[in-house]
Homo-oligomer: A and B are copies of this chain.
Amino acid sequence: MAEYDSSMYEKMSVAVDLLVFTIEEDRLKLLMIERSEDPFAKMPALPGVFVGINETLDDAAVRGIYEETGLTDLYFEQLYSFGEVNRDPRMRIISVAYMALVPIEKMNYHAGLRTLNASLVDVEELLASNRKVAFDHRKIIAYARQRLANKVEYTQIAFHLVDEEFTLPRLQKVYEILLGKSLYKANFRKKIAPMIEETEYVTAGEAHRPSRFYRLKEQSGCSE
């Protein structure tokens, strides 16, 4: 807090930048908008909103996600705060990045994305390319990608990228995508088994053995 006279210090704008991740067609995708104006016109950018003077950071994130996707009640967490001096050439903006995870089934309910010239960008493809990205958003995306890869190992974060009821082959694919490597079925299932419970449903209509749907078991006492 400091006892310095705050008038010595100029105030600055604070924004939240939003990383809305989903998995579509077996690829990790991120919701991005194409900028219409300079600076960085025509480049992909993360959606974001300024933080209101009477709004908490979390509230601003929830509002931003809703404005961008029409979605509410989805999993999100604060990622990191970025405060380079010239990250926005127009003015000083501190950006608090938030990461949200949406199963693609929920994403599709809301088709109004195109009107906001928003689209789902393939994350690995973007990071591997040398395509220009607005502001310091490439760095933010890379940071989030890393965090996802880490957290999938020691949390249940992957479950937020599938629907409430899911098959194990599907969940395994999500793990594989986030980890960037393939896993052995038997081992994966042994590891996941204690976290899930069976449903009565199975897939049907495919030319092979059907797979059972599971849901996440209510947890005993596990911090996120």
Once bound together, how far apart are the Cα atoms of A124 and B223, in whole Å? 20
Q: Is the CB of A12 within 8 A of B14?
A: yes
Closest CB-CB distance, A48 to chain B, in whole Å? 5
Is A78 on the interface with B (CB-CB < 8 A)?
Answer: yes
Closest CB-CB distance, A144 to chain B, in whole Å? 15
Is A91 on the interface with B (CB-CB < 8 A)?
Answer: yes
Q: Is the CB of B85 within 8 A of A56?
A: yes
Q: Which residues of chain B come closer than 8 Å to A13, judged between CB atoms?
A: 6, 9, 11
Q: Which of A92-100, A162-170, A177-185 contacts its partner?
A: A92-100
Closest CB-CB distance, A45 to chain B, in whole Å? 6
Q: Is the CB of A11 within 8 A of B11?
A: yes
Q: Which residues of chain B come closer than 8 Å to A85, judged between CB atoms?
A: 54-56
A-B pairs with beta carbons under 8 Å apart, 5 shown:
A2-B64, A6-B50, A9-B50, A10-B11, A57-B94
Residues in chain A within 8 A of chain B (CB atoms): 1-4, 6, 8-15, 17, 36-37, 45-58, 60, 64, 78, 80-85, 88, 91-96, 134-135, 146, 154, 223
